[in-house]
Chains A and B, each alone.
Chain A
Amino acid sequence: MESRLAPAREGAGDDLPDAPTGLWREAWRRLLRNRVAVIAGLYILLITLAATFAPLVTPYERDAPDFDHTRAAPSIEHPFGTDPLGRDVLTRIIYGGRVSLGVAFVGALTSMAIGLTYGAVSGYLGGWVDDLMMRFVDVMYGFPMLLFIILTMLVIPPNSGTGLIMVGLFAAIGLVSWPGMARLVRGQFLSLREQDFVVAARALGAKPVRIITRYLIPNSLGPIIVALTLSIPSLILTESTLSFIGLGVKNPVPSWGGMLADGWRAMRADPHLAVFPALAITVTMLAFNFFGDGLRDALDPTLRGRG
């Protein structure tokens, strides 16, 4: 891996007594030494796997009602209790992770794809093109984000199936949240493109696409990955907010925000119906924030412990 990244920023491992190793292997070792980040990473891995293989790991059917055990408090059979239809809350939270995590992951990747391309072009070309493209980013920032997402979601007809709603969520989130990534990438590119190794590559006749993909992107990858990881909690929040408002997937398909909105109405009688979805959202956001912080410290040791 390190050879492919040969023009990586120098000096990344200089402060370590070990034999010279690649930037990424060094970062990986630093990450493994950060206990909080490792635990957060394992939690993320665990819930992602559980949500992906939900039918294999859940003890009950997602929508199977059990009218003998409605609104049951947490117990051994139902660790998170059951809802007013007797459906197992734990099972539904695991399935809900498919929507909440799926929207966050794909939304983050969509927004990265748009932001990376936009920022790359803007930062690489510079000059008036950059000026014009950044003015457009300013205009994008001029919109209230939630309103803009809802406006985009209206393109999806009401009563659509889960698949179409999910696509709508990816698209809305991607279309609205890319300007941050675009600014980050542009800033990275602007500072990198004047550095000697890029100038040398250009002097040797490398084409712009090659310079961008082989030199500029690999050297900006650290900040991009960190920004991507730290954007996921805010997208989980966005998805939950949309579901809470009623713009997410429709019953009986569960999502954490939707379950919280339902449970909230019965808050006083059955607090477990609101508490566990709320915990799912909060703990997952916390894990991504801890993991993102750990990733940043690992990828850029000069920043260790910041932020």
Chain B
Amino acid sequence: MLAFIVNRLLRSIIVLFLVSVVTFTFMQLVPGGPFSADAGGRPRSPEVQAKLEAQYGLDRPPVEQYLTYMTGLLTRFDLGPSLRQKDFSVNELMFGTNFWADPLHVPVTVSAQVGLLSFTLAVLVGIPLGVIAAAYRNRLPDYAATLAATLGISIPNFVLGLMLILIFALGLGWLPVYGWGDNWKQTILPVVTLGTGGMAFIARLTRASLLETLGADYVRTARAKGLRENAVLFRHALRNALIPVVTVLGPLLAAWLTGTFLVEHVFAIPGIGRFFVTAVFDRDYSLIMAAILLYSVVLVLANLAVDITYGFLDPRIRFD
């Protein structure tokens, strides 16, 4: 098991290295730069641009820039200065100016909270919904669950967010319109907004996968030896049916933990989702790199967690 984890992490380092190289190359190729316009959007003169680029080392050869960045990151966990938000380092933008004083209210952890709560909601409702649909195949509960799930994957989360705000915040006044971390009521709308799509997706996948396993020989054997339907369903079929479901949970968790631009935008949540969009518009190279690397690292860890979960679901899967 330990050898498996170490092996996987070593291989992941290669993937992370390639991701950083591709990102860096791509940023060199994309036209425009962080200093081509000033804060008001007016174009800067070439002299000023050159001076700013020199100040941030962007005039150095690309390989040297890359090595400088990577050295800083790996030796000091220094993600470099933000090229567009003067006076802020990327570390400060993502982890706050004083992370340890209040670690739960900095952008990275705010996004992670939104993501983790939504993920929990999606899994805790999505899987049972899929199980109910499969257990009552082609009967009323199945039709209701399938319809709900198809609706759920078809409604974009920004549309759902706007609807929920209209009804529960502006209309009924039960819940706040925006914000995060001041009181628990602020968590409900964003988490439902983000969680619904994933919940519906998980429900559809669980249903499909469970129906497939319910047709397998070992399930027929289990039934033939007189096991009650519940025991067949939960002890024999569901464990195996969950393997494809768990597979998609890795990327889903990674995407949600690292912030969702539109949900954070709609509910004015101070997370890191916005960096994935604004940094690209701004050509804020160091912030783009940090966002992509953060996502990749979380993805690697989430996929590792998925692989370890396989072992619990199916004892035939061994880590050697």
Check if B207 sits within 8 Å of A155, measured CB to CB: no
- What is the CA–CA distance of A150 and B280 in the complex, to the nearest angstrom? 7
Given the interface contacts A151-B30, A241-B158, A282-B154, does A138 sit within 8 Å of B277 by beta carbon?
no
- What is the CA–CA distance of A143 and B291 in the complex, to the nearest angstrom? 10
Given the interface contacts A147-B277, A150-B277, A278-B162, does A139 sit within 8 Å of B258 by beta carbon?
no
* B8 smallest CB distance to A (angstroms): 12
Check if B150 sits within 8 Å of A289, measured CB to CB: yes
Residues of B within 8 A of A233 (CB): 153-154
Check if B162 sits within 8 Å of A267, measured CB to CB: yes
Check if A154 sits within 8 Å of B207, measured CB to CB: no
Check if A151 sits within 8 Å of B158, measured CB to CB: no
Check if B205 sits within 8 Å of A307, measured CB to CB: yes
Give A267-307 as 1s and 0s: 1 = Cβ < 8 Å from B's Cβ atoms. Answer: 11001001000100110011001100100000000010111
Check if A244 sits within 8 Å of B291, measured CB to CB: no
- What is the CA–CA distance of A139 and B300 in the complex, to the nearest angstrom? 11
Check if A307 sits within 8 Å of B277, measured CB to CB: no
Given the interface contacts A241-B262, A289-B154, A306-B207, does A282 sit within 8 Å of B159 by beta carbon?
yes
Given the interface contacts A146-B261, A147-B276, does A286 sit within 8 Å of B151 by beta carbon?
yes
Residue on A nearest B197 in the bound complex, by CB: A237
Check if B159 sits within 8 Å of A307, measured CB to CB: no
Check if A282 sits within 8 Å of B156, measured CB to CB: yes
Check if B291 sits within 8 Å of A144, measured CB to CB: yes
Check if B155 sits within 8 Å of A282, measured CB to CB: yes
Given the interface contacts A139-B22, A144-B295, does A271 sit within 8 Å of B277 by beta carbon?
no
Residues of A within 8 A of B166 (CB): 267, 271
Check if B150 sits within 8 Å of A286, measured CB to CB: yes
Check if B137 sits within 8 Å of A305, measured CB to CB: yes
Given the interface contacts A146-B277, A151-B30, does A285 sit within 8 Å of B154 by beta carbon?
yes
Given the interface contacts A155-B30, A157-B31, A305-B211, does A144 sit within 8 Å of B276 by beta carbon?
yes
Which of A147, A241, A293 sits near B292, CB closer than 8 Å?
Answer: A147
Residues of B within 8 A of A5 (CB): none
Instruction: Tell me whether B218 is interfacial, beta carbon within 8 Å.
Output: no
Residues of B within 8 A of A135 (CB): 15
Check if A260 sits within 8 Å of B159, measured CB to CB: yes
- What is the CA–CA distance of A23 and B251 in the complex, to the nearest angstrom? 36
Residues of A within 8 A of B106 (CB): none
Identify which of A135, A142, A281, A293 gathers the most chain B CB atoms within 10 Å of its CB: A142
Given the interface contacts A155-B31, A281-B159, does A306 sit within 8 Å of B280 by beta carbon?
no
Check if B18 sits within 8 Å of A139, measured CB to CB: yes
Instruction: Tell me whether B128 is interfacial, beta carbon within 8 Å.
Output: no
- What is the CA–CA distance of A145 and B82 in the complex, to the nearest angstrom? 22
Given the interface contacts A150-B280, A237-B156, A305-B138, does A143 sit within 8 Å of B295 by beta carbon?
yes
Identify which of A141, A245, A293, A307 gathers the most chain B CB atoms within 10 Å of its CB: A307
Residues of A within 8 A of B56 (CB): none
Residues of A within 8 A of B300 (CB): 142
Number of interface residues of B (CB under 8 A): 50
- What is the CA–CA distance of A274 and B277 in the complex, to the nearest angstrom? 23
- What is the CA–CA distance of A144 and B30 in the complex, to the nearest angstrom? 17
Number of interface residues of A (CB under 8 A): 38
* A159 smallest CB distance to B (angstroms): 13
B 288-318 contacts with A by CB, 8 A: 288, 291-292, 295-296, 299-300
* A50 smallest CB distance to B (angstroms): 20
Check if B31 sits within 8 Å of A154, measured CB to CB: yes
A 202-257 contacts with B by CB, 8 A: 233, 237, 240-241, 244-245
Instruction: Tell me whether A264 is interfacial, beta carbon within 8 Å.
Output: yes
Check if B299 sits within 8 Å of A142, measured CB to CB: yes
* A232 smallest CB distance to B (angstroms): 11
* B279 smallest CB distance to A (angstroms): 8
Residues of A within 8 A of B155 (CB): 282, 285-286
* A305 smallest CB distance to B (angstroms): 6
Check if B19 sits within 8 Å of A143, measured CB to CB: yes
Residue on A nearest B153 in the bound complex, by CB: A289
Instruction: Tell me whether B26 is interfacial, beta carbon within 8 Å.
Output: yes
- What is the CA–CA distance of A285 and B197 in the complex, to the nearest angstrom? 13
Which of A144, A264, A285 sits near B156, CB closer than 8 Å?
Answer: A285
Residue on A nearest B300 in the bound complex, by CB: A142
Check if A141 sits within 8 Å of B251, measured CB to CB: yes
- What is the CA–CA distance of A2 and B315 in the complex, to the nearest angstrom? 44
Check if B138 sits within 8 Å of A144, measured CB to CB: no
- What is the CA–CA distance of A281 and B158 in the complex, to the nearest angstrom? 11
* B264 smallest CB distance to A (angstroms): 12
Extra 19 A-B pairs, beta carbons < 8 Å, given A147-B295, A151-B288, A245-B277: A135-B15, A142-B19, A142-B299, A150-B280, A150-B281, A154-B30, A155-B30, A233-B153, A241-B262, A244-B262, A278-B159, A281-B159, A286-B150, A286-B151, A289-B154, A293-B150, A305-B137, A306-B208, A306-B211
Using a CB–CB distance below 8 Å, which chain B residues touch chain A? 15-16, 18-19, 22-23, 26-27, 29-32, 137-138, 142, 150-151, 153-156, 158-159, 162-163, 166, 170, 204-205, 207-208, 211-212, 251, 255, 258, 261-262, 276-277, 280-281, 283, 288, 291-292, 295-296, 299-300
Using a CB–CB distance below 8 Å, which chain A residues touch chain B? 135, 138-139, 141-144, 146-147, 150-151, 154-155, 157, 233, 237, 240-241, 244-245, 260, 264, 267-268, 271, 274, 278, 281-282, 285-286, 289-290, 293, 303, 305-307
Top-9 shortest CB links A-B: A307-B208, A286-B154, A306-B208, A285-B154, A278-B159, A150-B280, A142-B296, A147-B276, A142-B19
Q: List 20 A-B contacts (CB under 8 A).
A: A144-B276, A144-B291, A147-B276, A147-B277, A147-B295, A150-B277, A151-B30, A154-B280, A155-B29, A155-B30, A155-B31, A233-B153, A245-B261, A285-B156, A286-B154, A286-B155, A289-B153, A306-B208, A307-B204, A307-B207
